[in-house]
Copies of this chain bind each other. A is one copy, B any other.
Amino acid sequence: MAKYNKVSEAVIRRLPKYYRYLKDMEKNGVQRISSRELSDKMGLTASQIRQDFNCFGGFGQQGYGYNVSELCNEIRKILGLHKNYNVIIAGAGNLGQALANYIGFEREGFYIKAIFDVNPRLIGMSIRGIQIMDIDAMKDFITNNDIQVGVVCVPKDKAQEVTNQMVESGIKSIWNFAPIDVETPDDVAVENVHLSDTLYTLVYKMNEI
């Protein structure tokens, strides 16, 4: 159920960045921060930050600044990171394995339960204790293991098919790394990550400097 109907995509996309910065500050023992200081660190204006936070009811008192650890917790809750999520990865190639190997996800409550592939040489192996299984077993696994997040790391021409299988089995969010925009029904969230987009932005910036 939508709690923050009017929050723009741009604000939503800044939330993870706030969260990252605040977590770092918390870790470094910073207890309180003004929107001015936060804006200096993050390269946003102080007014932008106040506006963003007001979308969620605002978290600070004027002139008094934000309690870093409270603010961090609030944003964690807004993002939904106070809950745990069960995750599967389709595709045990380099990228699928890189994601399976990254322990940072677990720290935020994302538990990778299995990886699926078509390659018989990979099936049966495991990565950090996470089994690589036959992709034919994926739909049953999703149904039986309360999986919320499906990660798509298969080749471009299989990405939509695998996404459909995930959706049919009840997955409610798709994190897609194949270089194509996969489509999902309205009640299934999707993020199509296009790694090359940031590379193109990078060379644009380099050429502009």
Contact = CB atoms under 8 A, between A and B. Distances in A.
Interface of A: 1-4, 10, 12-13, 15-17, 19-20, 78-81, 85, 93-95, 97-99, 101, 104-105, 108, 110, 148-149, 172-175, 179, 186-191, 193-209
21 contacts: A1-B208, A2-B208, A12-B201, A13-B201, A16-B196, A16-B198, A17-B194, A17-B197, A94-B94, A98-B98, A108-B196, A149-B202, A173-B203, A173-B205, A173-B206, A189-B202, A189-B205, A189-B209, A191-B201, A191-B202, A193-B198
B179 A79 contact: no
B105 A101 contact: no
B204 A15 contact: yes
Tell which of A188, A194, A207 has the most Cβ of chain B within 10 Å: A207
A208 B79 contact: no
A91 to B, nearest CB: 10
Contacts of A17: 194, 197
A192 to B, nearest CB: 9
Contacts of A78: 204
Secondary structure type dominating chain A contacts: helix
Contacts of A194: 16-17, 20
A191 B198 contact: yes
B19 A200 contact: yes
B173 A202 contact: yes
Nearest to A41: B181
Contact of A200 (B16, B179, B205, B208): B16
Contact of A203 (B80, B179, B186, B209): B80
B206 A80 contact: yes
A174 to B, nearest CB: 8
B104 A208 contact: no
